[in-house]
Amino acid sequence: MPTTPATAANTSSNGAAEAIMLELVDENGTTIGTAEKLAAHQSPGQLHRAFSVFLFDEQGRLLLQRRALGKYHSPGVWSNTCCGHPYPGEAPFAAAARRTYEELGVSPSLLAEAGTVRYNHPDPASGLVEQEFNHLFVGMAQEKVSPDPDEVGETAFVTAGELAERHAEAPFSAWFMTVLDAARPAIRELTGPAAGW
């Protein structure tokens, strides 16, 4: 992973990974502190900053990812293009672009803010809780996807109709429909009415 001021704070001097810290926020999204990532997700959950990215191809199809089976939270389920957490002090936009590249090998183009959404979604399978103030982003994937297998098990570009079929048949992340619905106005603006989003 490239070292930036934000990532340097999460790597020790000998290169070993330290605890990943998240930014805790109040109901207005104002930073109020930090917490270790796993602790922030343990029931009842601590409200923290997150981001969700929705990337589309030139045909208006959404890039989905199936989370790798080795992930401790929501493994093996389908979800939006990329989601994650900014490091404390890292701008959500920068975190979204960084993490999309780390997970999928794609630098998003035309990446734009699409609002925020606050939710509380327990994950029955793991017992963890997504208590998040989520910054939404939409953009284009104009490069070949090259996923990191430790993060992503599979990818697929889907139309709105194909997504509805897949969502009825396959497990999706607990937060997926919440973030998709919140991002729909910006998605429609990006993809146009013909795409059906």
Q: Give the residue among 132, 135, 115, 133 at the shortest CA–CA distance from 189.
A: 115
Beta carbons of 196 and 188 less than 8 angstroms apart? no
Roughly how many angstroms between the first and final C-alpha of the chain, as a whole number? 34
- Reply yes or no on whether 82 is catalytic: no
Residue 32 structure tokens: 């109020």
Query: How many Å apart are CA 80 and CA 102, to the nearest integer?
Result: 15
Q: Give the residue among 81, 190, 194, 176 at the shortest CA–CA distance from 132.
A: 176
Torsion region of 133: left, alpha or beta (phi above 0 gives left; psi -120 to 50 gives alpha): beta
Catalytic position from the list 23, 90, 103, 132: 132
- Reply yes or no on whether 23 is catalytic: no
Catalytic position from the list 83, 90, 103, 130: 83
* CA dist list (Å): 121 to 128, 141, 178: 9, 28, 9
The catalytic residues are 83, 132
